[in-house]
Amino acid sequence: MPDLPTSKPALAGKAPLQGVQFAVEALPEGHLLQLMGPTTLDELRALFDTFGLGGSVIRAAGFRQWYVMGEAPLEPAALRGIAGALPRGVFLSDQSHGRVRIRVSGPRAAQVLARGTAVDLHGSQFPAGAAAMTLFGHIPVHLSRTGEAEFELTVLRSFAEALFGELEPFAA
Amino acid sequence: MASLITCPHCGQRPKEEFTIKGDAGLTRPAPDADADVWYDYVYLRDNPKGLHKEYWHHSSGCRRWLIVERDTVTHKVHSVADAALAELGGAA
Ligand SMILES: [Zn+2]
């Protein structure tokens, strides 16, 4: 039926852009789980490994908060299994359809991001593996450095197009 | 206005990442307290010159509630603590 809403990625149709020393690319909408509570990165890593999600990345997102992200969608049964195995006092919110990941890379990546965030992106302050919740302009983002010249931005779905649009000109 | 706040969890961030939520020195009255007492609590505020404790919510960061002690004359920030952890007696 043509009047039924169809599910499509928030950044569907946005091709990866490669500019001069800067590239921006929408990542697949796989799974993205938010976890909160008194646990540790090691404990979460072990838990997700037992559910066959060793390939998912776990990134700090503030005091006692983490994002678990991966490129493959999670079946509802797998999600229920994880939710049932969480340590006491730890809670999970499935954000797989609520947040979108964007990768930016290239020698100019840190310089472009510095126009939007106040986080000090110098390698000595924000090395590969570092992550922060912050603002890019007026848009709240989770920013992580995945390599010396590679970053990921996680953004609320409704802001994804606006954020991508702000980064596009730098990759022109 | 203090323009840089050092969040105990996130480090130094600009005030744009925070939402100021008012005087942290108020005590909520008992549910059956006089209407005058409630009126005072809900609507009336001091406008202190000098040291002042306020709730700041790191709304575009870690989303923790903080207590910022700052000087309204010099703009100097004296301390920033996680409100919930301070209440529980733990270090921020
Ligand atoms: Zn913070």
Q: How far apart are CA B37 and CA B30, in angstroms?
A: 9
Contact A62 B16 (CB under 8 A): no
Q: Write down the mean pLDDT value for chain B.
A: 93
Q: What is the DSSP letter of A119?
A: S
Distance from CA of B45 to the nearest CA of A (A): 30
Do A102 and A161 lie in a common domain? Answer: yes
Domains and CATH numbers, chain B: 4-24+41-88 (3.30.2270.10)
Element (H, E) at B88: helix B83-88
Contact A140 B60 (CB under 8 A): yes
- Which residue type is seen at A142? H
Q: How far apart are CA A161 and CA B50, in angstroms?
A: 44
- Return the CATH number at A117: 3.30.1360.120
Interface contacts A/B by beta carbons within 8 Å: 34
> pLDDT at position B90, please?
61
Q: What is the rounded average pLDDT of the residues A78-99? A: 96
Is residue A140, in this structure, part of any structural domain at all? yes
Is residue A66, in this structure, part of any structural domain at all? yes
pLDDT for A100-143, tens place per residue?
A: 999 999 999 999 999 999 999 999 999 999 999 999 999 999 99
pLDDT for A46-69, tens place per residue?
A: 999 999 999 999 999 999 999 999
What are the contacts of A156-165 at 24+ separation with CB within 8 A?
Answer: A156/A98, A156/A99, A156/A100, A157/A10, A157/A97, A157/A98, A157/A99, A157/A100, A158/A10, A160/A10, A160/A11, A160/A26, A160/A100, A160/A102, A161/A10, A161/A11, A163/A102, A163/A136, A163/A139, A164/A11, A164/A14, A164/A24, A164/A26, A164/A102
Q: How far apart are CA B46 and CA B26, in angstroms?
A: 11
Please tell me the least confidently modeled range out of A2-11, A116-125, A156-165: A2-11
Do A21 and A105 lie in a common domain? Answer: yes
Q: How far apart are CA A65 and CA A57, in angstroms?
A: 14
Share of chain B above pLDDT 90, in %: 89
Structural domains counted in chain A: 2
Name the pLDDT band for A1 (thresholds 50, 70, 90): low
- Considering only CB atoms, A134 lies closest to which of B9, B60, B64, namely B60
Distance from CA of B17 to the nearest CA of A (A): 7
Name the pLDDT band for A2 (thresholds 50, 70, 90): confident
Contact A62 B60 (CB under 8 A): no
Do A82 and A141 lie in a common domain? Answer: no
> pLDDT at position A7, please?
83
Chain A environment of B13 (Cβ under 8 Å): 118-119, 134
> pLDDT at position B2, please?
67
Q: How far apart are CA A84 and CA A138, in angstroms?
A: 36
**Domain end point (choices A94, A113, A141):** A94
Question: Looking up tokens 């309204």, which residue turns up?
Answer: B72
Q: How, if at all, do strands A139-147 and A131-136 pair?
A: antiparallel
- What is the pTM assigned to this prediction? 0.91
Interface with chain B: mutation pick from A36, A133, A159, highest number of B CBs within 10 Å: A133
Chain A environment of B16 (Cβ under 8 Å): 118, 135
Question: Looking up tokens 């840190």, which residue turns up?
Answer: A110
pLDDT at A92 over 60: yes
> pLDDT at position B1, please?
55
pLDDT for B50-63, tens place per residue?
A: 999 999 999 999 99
Name the pLDDT band for A153 (thresholds 50, 70, 90): very high
Start-to-end CA distance of chain B, whole Å, equals: 23
Q: What is the rounded average pLDDT of the residues A85-102? A: 96
Do A159 and A117 lie in a common domain? Answer: yes
Do A108 and A157 lie in a common domain? Answer: yes
Name the pLDDT band for B87 (thresholds 50, 70, 90): confident
Share of chain A above pLDDT 90, in %: 94
pLDDT for B12-29, tens place per residue?
A: 999 999 999 999 999 999
Name the pLDDT band for B91 (thresholds 50, 70, 90): low
